[in-house]
Amino acid sequence: MSATKPEDLAPIVEKIRPLLAGKPPELQGAVLADLVAMFIAGHAPPLRDEIFETHVALVRELIPVNEGLMFPNGAPWGR
């Protein structure tokens, strides 16, 4: 995500967040999966595996960042 700055990302995330808030985790996951599938489908088939792997790597990087924002006093399930 080197070309994308957090300040560019935040306003879009904040518009999407209320649409998912309070929905069951299965629905949230299905919506996010559909959005990712649309994103990957927009790339040529030979690039899709690489795009997907890059996306998964970014998600993994963002998990601890978001966990810290969601649970500033530590996650309720511990670490």
Q: Helices 25-41 and 45-70: crossing angle, nearest 10°?
A: 140
Tens digits of per-residue pLDDT, 19-44?
A: 999 999 999 999 999 999 999 999 99
Reported as a pLDDT band with limits 50, 70 and 90, residue 3 is: low
Of 53, 55, 75, the closest CA to residue 64 belongs to: 75
Q: Choose the most confident range, by mean pLDDT, from 1-5, 7-11, 12-16.
A: 12-16
How large is the average pLDDT for residues 54-60? Answer: 95
Q: How far is 78 from 40, CA to CA, in rounded Å?
A: 34
